[in-house]
A and B are shown apart, each in its own frame.
Chain A
Amino acid sequence: MPEVSTGDFVVPGDLLATAEEFVPGNGAYEEDGKIYAANAGVVLVDARTKHISVFSRGAGVPTLKRGDIIIGKIEEVRDQNATVVIGALRGREDRALPPPNVGLIHISQTDAGYVKDLSREFRVGDIVRAKVINANREPVLLSTVGDDLGVIVAFCSRCRSPLVRQGKKLVCESCGNVESRKMANDYRKGVL
């Protein structure tokens, strides 16, 4: 029998169960054959999978997982890949994301169709919304395939002022430069 039952409140260091009976899940750790709480929160005992976990209601350190939506800034654009510094995780904007906070968008994961030139889709300094497709790699693999994903703010590559959307093109109001991007459908609507 575990030392605690589902719904009990525990703080770090509380004994949950012995390691022979259970596997430590989220917010739990094993030491000297015993399982202890690593977070303050409520215990969840899963008798079927033999996992014992501690949940601290929404709080805790943010971590990336597959399917998460992130906001980031393009740091570098190469032939095949664009590098993104991840600034915020949707739903956890309250807190900084600890490393690994660098992502990579491969040219094949940029848009639904064929992309010939990645520098026509992203430029350094652009703010993008992307989806995590593999969080176990470093850099994290990202994708902007989808109408709601892509650049949400772009800057003129000549004068750095924000670009304005005109149909499928982006126009710079200060120098007249015309550029293109893989835009999200709410480009410059102020929505994260």
Chain B
Amino acid sequence: MEKPEKLIVDGRRLDGRAPDELRPLKIKAGVLERADGSAYVELGNNKVFAAVYGPREMHPRHDQQPDAAVLRCRYSMAPFSVEDRKKPGPDRRSMEISKVTKEALEPVLFLELYPRSVIDVFIEVLQADAGTRTAGINAAAVALADAGVPMRDLVSSVAVGKVEDTIVLDLIKEEDQFGTTDMPVAIIPRKKAITLLQMDGHFTKEEFKQALDLAFRGCEKIYEVQRQALKEKYAIKESG
């Protein structure tokens, strides 16, 4: 990928967005026939599926917890999801994302209701353009609600960053690669609690506050789309 001469021209980004603007977002719930719950998310050029199975009996049994369910997440990228073919299978990066995704979703689940069970969440990235972990979390939250797993709240997630000294929302690949900072954030919308916060690059204290505030506002917009997706799924069932 060539480095563009300027990432921001006259307050507009490469794709014409304002710094505090999200990419076009589309969420659909209940897209996979055989999964207990599923969701599809399109965030700009990101295309992500999430499938939820369970709660069901956990195998291997030595990983069962006698007093609670275990949340098992697997984030995986399709070989064709990026420009250069990605070798299929888990690697260092996807293992890390699986782990942080699990930790981002765990606080909203009533795991203690299902002892010795497992809730499996599979996130498959079909097309990637920066911010796939946040898209994956958004999809997984909708898929869990679609599966009817009891939840305290949904989880909404977005990335913020710094590009040429401007704080921007929802970075694209060029901004992620040639910008200064990339910070994915996941929140529980009702409580305004943070469940995921990672940072690549650096912010000053002031910039961090500003960026976090921007992330919260971005998450609220995403939350509205997530709600709408669940409502549409319910309306379809009603007529069918």
Binding site for B on A (CB under 8 A): 9, 11-13, 27, 29, 31, 36, 38-42, 56-57, 59-61, 95-99, 101
A13 partner, pick from B115, B147, B154, beta carbons under 8 A: B154
Chain B: which residue is nearest A94 at the CB level?
B36
A143 to B233 alpha-carbon distance, docked (Å): 38
Pull 18 A–B residue pairs with CB atoms less than 8 Å apart, ordered by A: A9-B231, A11-B154, A11-B226, A11-B227, A13-B154, A13-B188, A13-B190, A36-B190, A39-B150, A57-B234, A61-B150, A96-B56, A97-B56, A98-B56, A98-B117, A99-B57, A99-B114, A99-B115
Task: Enumerate chain A residues within 8 angstroms of B231, measured Cβ to Cβ.
Answer: 9, 11
Chain A: which residue is nearest B34 at the CB level?
A94
A87 to B188 alpha-carbon distance, docked (Å): 36
Task: Enumerate chain A residues within 8 angstroms of B152, measured Cβ to Cβ.
Answer: 12-13, 29, 31, 36, 38
CB of A29 within 8 A of CB of B150, answer: yes
B145 partner, pick from A36, A40, A99, beta carbons under 8 A: A40
Binding site for A on B (CB under 8 A): 36, 53-57, 69, 108, 110, 114-117, 145-154, 188-190, 226-227, 230-231, 233-234, 237-238
Task: Enumerate chain B residues within 8 angstroms of A96, measured Cβ to Cβ.
Answer: 53-54, 56-57
Task: Enumerate chain A residues within 8 angstroms of B146, measured Cβ to Cβ.
Answer: 40
A12 partner, pick from B53, B55, B114, B154, beta carbons under 8 A: B154
With A39-B145, A98-B55, A98-B114 as given contacts, are A9 and B150 in contact (CB-CB < 8 Å)? no
With A40-B230, A57-B237, A98-B56 as given contacts, are A13 and B148 in contact (CB-CB < 8 Å)? no
Chain B: which residue is nearest A28 at the CB level?
B150
How many A-B contacts if CB must be within 8 Å?
A: 81
Task: Enumerate chain A residues within 8 angstroms of B151, measured Cβ to Cβ.
Answer: 12-13, 38-39
| Most chain A beta-carbon contacts within 10 A, residue among B116, B227, B233 | B227
A12 to B142 alpha-carbon distance, docked (Å): 10
CB of A59 within 8 A of CB of B154, answer: no
With A40-B230, A95-B36, A96-B57 as given contacts, are A12 and B145 in contact (CB-CB < 8 Å)? yes
A95 to B148 alpha-carbon distance, docked (Å): 12
A36 to B56 alpha-carbon distance, docked (Å): 25
* 12 more A-B residue pairs beyond the given contacts A11-B231, A13-B188, A95-B36, with a C-beta to C-beta distance below 8 A: A11-B230, A13-B151, A13-B154, A29-B152, A36-B190, A40-B145, A40-B233, A42-B234, A98-B55, A98-B116, A98-B117, A101-B57
| Most chain B beta-carbon contacts within 10 A, residue among A9, A39, A95, A99 | A99
- Closest chain B CB from A119 CB (angstroms): 27
